[in-house]
Homo-oligomer: A and B are copies of this chain.
Amino acid sequence: MSVPYSIKTLAVAGTDKQPKASDKIPIIARPFVSDRAKKTLDIVEKFVEEECIPGDAVFSQQLGLTPDARFRAHPPILEDLKKRARELGLWNMFLPKNHFKEGAGFSNLEYGLMAEYLGKSGIASEATNCNAPDTGNMEVFAKYGTQAQKDRWLKPLLEGKIRSAFLMTEPDVASSDATNISLTMVKDGNDYVLNGAKWWSSGAGDPRCQIYIVMAKSDPGNKNVYRQQSVILVPFDTPGVKIERMLSVMGYDDAPHGHGHVTFTNVRVPASNLILGAGRGFEVIQGRLGPGRIHHAMRSIGAAERALEHFLARINDPRKKPFGKQLHEHGIQLERVARSRIEIDAARLQVLNAAIMIDSKDAKFALKEIAEAKVLIPEMALTVIDRAMQAYGGAGVSQDTPLARMWASGRTMRIVDGPDEVHLLQLGRNENKRGPFLLEKVEWQKKRGEEMAKSYGLQNKDVLQLDREWSKEKSKL
């Protein structure tokens, strides 16, 4: 199929005068970015701004109106954009070069910079085969898969021909603590038989989603609670698997991708479908999550930047003049613009630093930084998007801007991959390990100060220590 439109430069819209994506890389991060990545980054920006964002509107129209239609949809615009992306060399950029030969050869930092731009559009990530949860799933296959598993699933995933889902969260337990996972998985001959329910199985709604990577409880009696789980592959059409319904997010169905509520009734799969081995479920999920959180974070930053762009467009719209002044002439709006600028810029540096930590070693090495990003970025993005919504009034919460949808999507970021509270608790506990040493240090410094004072002939009196017999004095009053 021929591309139904030609790429025009944004020159007509004045792009020439605007800095390119590569110009805007923070100076502190530049030593870590190759020239090739910079060049690709600029292509990503152009692709997103000129083709994907306009394409969002097409995608939306091609989805249909009833839930039934929407979760059967496979909008043609998507395949066209994928073709276009491959032509432009924008494909699988997410697979980090130091770990996978299958990727496009970028570091986590370099891809992170690109992910920011992908996050400005609803379809750009998938158009470049960089969409979650497929990205994390491909990493799982590449890292832990057998050759047979790779051939069967990784290959078509890398080519963007099928989609996948990762089934972990469950409706009946507190899944934020993964040891609670309770979908059962029992060995029966050479097979495993699964029973239970999963939800928030993102991507499961897509008609092209063919493989579920499932976390289940295989060894409930194991004394080590982190060895009770296994991860196993379940093809979507295995008998006993049923998508009960899809879940909405703040009113959005996110079709056709969606978030499935899936039940397993005597679902039988061969033991060869195990990933890494029985009892190694935690290993798999821990190896999977780090970079994905960076991707999410950078996409959220892109969403925040786009919200700010809309914000600025709105307050400079000459048709909108409440009380005789354009919105940008009302001081209250410029303060919000400024705060948004500050908050986005600081947040981005935090994520970029985390990405470099991963690149320098691995995700475990960047545990603290990833958790920090997980908490910091969604709160920042929601704040910025909310300010933009408010500047738009009604249009801000409606279908006329991308803001409401971006807010809804951003809101889930405070929940997915563990709610903020879990990460805050872990960060707090980690930081708290320094406590006993610091107590000792503070007391040492105090004592040291007293010794030093003595060496100067001072008596270590408190500044408000009064040398008098209070009671006697007062009695005379």
A221 in the interface, Cβ–Cβ < 8 Å?
Answer: no
Which residue of chain B lies nearest to A467 when distances are taken between CB atoms in the complex?
B68
Task: Give bound CA distance, A414 to B259, whole Å.
Answer: 30
Give the contacts of A348-396 with B (CB-CB under 8 A). 349-350, 352-353, 356-357, 360, 368-369, 372, 375-376, 389-390, 393-396
Bitwise, A177-215 to B at CB < 8 A (1) or not (0) is 100100000000000000000011000000111100000
Q: Of A331, A333, A407, which is in contact with the most chain B CB atoms at under 10 Å from its CB?
A: A331
Q: Is the CB of B250 within 8 A of A408?
A: yes
Partner of A477, one of B12, B208, B246, B250: B208
The count of residues in chain A whose C-beta lies closer than 8 Å to any C-beta of chain B is 178
Give 3 closest A-B pairs by Cβ, nearest first: A251-B251, A334-B428, A316-B435
A461 in the interface, Cβ–Cβ < 8 Å?
Answer: yes
Task: Give bound CA distance, A349 to B207, whole Å.
Answer: 43
Partner of A177, one of B18, B323, B455: B323
Q: Is the CB of B246 within 8 A of A404?
A: no
Query: Could you say which residues of chain B place their CB within 8 Å of the CB of A310?
Result: 438, 442
Q: Is the CB of A313 within 8 A of B421?
A: no
Which residue of chain B lies nearest to A434 when distances are taken between CB atoms in the complex?
B312
A89 in the interface, Cβ–Cβ < 8 Å?
Answer: no
Q: Is the CB of B473 within 8 A of A207?
A: yes
19 chain-A/chain-B pairs, Cβ below 8 angstroms: A15-B441, A54-B446, A57-B460, A67-B463, A77-B452, A207-B477, A245-B465, A246-B465, A246-B466, A247-B394, A249-B397, A313-B441, A330-B421, A332-B421, A334-B425, A335-B424, A337-B428, A338-B427, A346-B346
Query: Could you say which residues of chain B place their CB within 8 Å of the CB of A458?
Result: 58, 61-62
Task: Give bound CA distance, A167 to B27, whole Å.
Answer: 34
Q: Is the CB of B12 within 8 A of A68?
A: no
